Amino acid sequence: MACSTLQTLGHFVVYYGVLGAVGQTALASVAVVVSRWFERTQRGRAIGFADVGTGFGMVVFIPGSAWLIETFGWRPAFAILGAVIVLLLVPLNLWQRRPPVALVPTVSPASFGHAVRHQAFWMLCLAHCFMTITMTMVNVHLVPFLVSSGRLELVGAASIASAVSLVSLGGRMFFGWLVDRLHGEGAFSVAMSCSITGFVMLLILSQSAAHWPLYAFVLVYGFAQGAGGIAIAAKTIALFQGPSLGTIFMVVNLSANLGAAFGAWCGGRLFDVTESYALTFATAIASGLLAISCMWSGRQGQPTTRQG
């Protein structure tokens, strides 16, 4: 809402880049809250189902924001969106209850000090960082790419981004189920492979006038949108369940925020230098491959757990 009053770039950095970012960071704790309500064999599906809300929000708010901007201007759009978020999130959070006492055996509690001594923790951080570099390069620059290429107007491009999120609704639930079957590394690899395939479609689209790569991108990339985060959340919770889980998870999530910051800037910088998004998408592919490698490297040196 403060962004509706900004006058300079400095205001935007403070309001959106600092104030908004601090608040948004807390939203990542949803996976930790959900994990305390479900057994380990059902945790991936629970996290995936909860994450459907993220996809649904993007389906509504991406084209909705574009419509607000074109109809009322960007200042009223910021104010309206801020008011809607307050009216929705505050009541929903007030209705939350404490989780029930666990009725099944749990792993030995992991402290934050215990976590940072293990390779698996740092590999999760790196995997999350490289994953968000990959995803942010596309998520932030997809609409500008479609508009600057002359393929679509703003609302049309925003509708494509919304369609990606619509496809992701089923994908988030599927990958939640897949996490329970293949565990974190396998589900993460499948998800990132789908994302990388989507980037290949964008590369083809940047060099071709055909429309089929865009449709293929929406289906393939959309199906896996958000799935990598579900896999990493489930893996972090499985390895480091205990009273310090919130702290551990938020540090892993911090690495994602760093990756998102770099990916958004790097994607834009590459476009400014080359006047094309081709190198941006190619870099996103390379970062996705590094994310898969880090995820599997974390299997070595995983902390041992005992039932108790």
pLDDT digits (tens, 9 = 90+) for 22-77: 777 777 677 778 877 877 777 778 888 887 887 788 778 878 888 898 899 999 99
pLDDT digits (tens, 9 = 90+) for 130-150: 999 998 888 888 888 888 887
Task: Give the CATH number of the domain where residue 202 resides.
Answer: 1.20.1250.20
DSSP 96: -
**What's the whole-number average pLDDT of the chain?**
83
% the chain with pLDDT above 90:
20
Instruction: Please count the structural domains in the chain.
Output: 1
How confident is the model at residue 101, as a pLDDT? 63
3-state secondary structure 100-157: CCCCCCCECCCCHHHHHCCHHHHHHHHHHHHHHHHHHHHHCCHHHHHHHCCCCCHHHH
pLDDT digits (tens, 9 = 90+) for 212-236: 999 999 999 989 888 888 888 888 8
| Distance (Å, whole) CA 160 – CA 152 | 9
Q: Is residue 308 part of a domain?
A: no
Q: Which residue has the higher pLDDT, 299 or 255?
A: 255
How confident is the model at residue 77, as a pLDDT? 92
Domain assignment of residue 263, given as a range: 2-297
The residues, ordered by sequence, that sit 6+ positions from 270 with a Cβ below 8 Å of its Cβ are 277, 279, 280, 283
How confident is the model at residue 304, as a pLDDT? 54
Q: Is residue 305 part of a domain?
A: no
pLDDT digits (tens, 9 = 90+) for 81-122: 999 988 988 888 888 777 766 544 444 556 778 788 888 899
How confident is the model at residue 306, as a pLDDT? 43
Residue 242 has pLDDT above 90, yes or no: no
Q: Is residue 25 part of a domain?
A: yes
Q: Is residue 213 part of a domain?
A: yes
Q: Is residue 159 part of a domain?
A: yes
Q: Is residue 302 part of a domain?
A: no
Q: Is residue 65 part of a domain?
A: yes
Q: Is residue 164 part of a domain?
A: yes
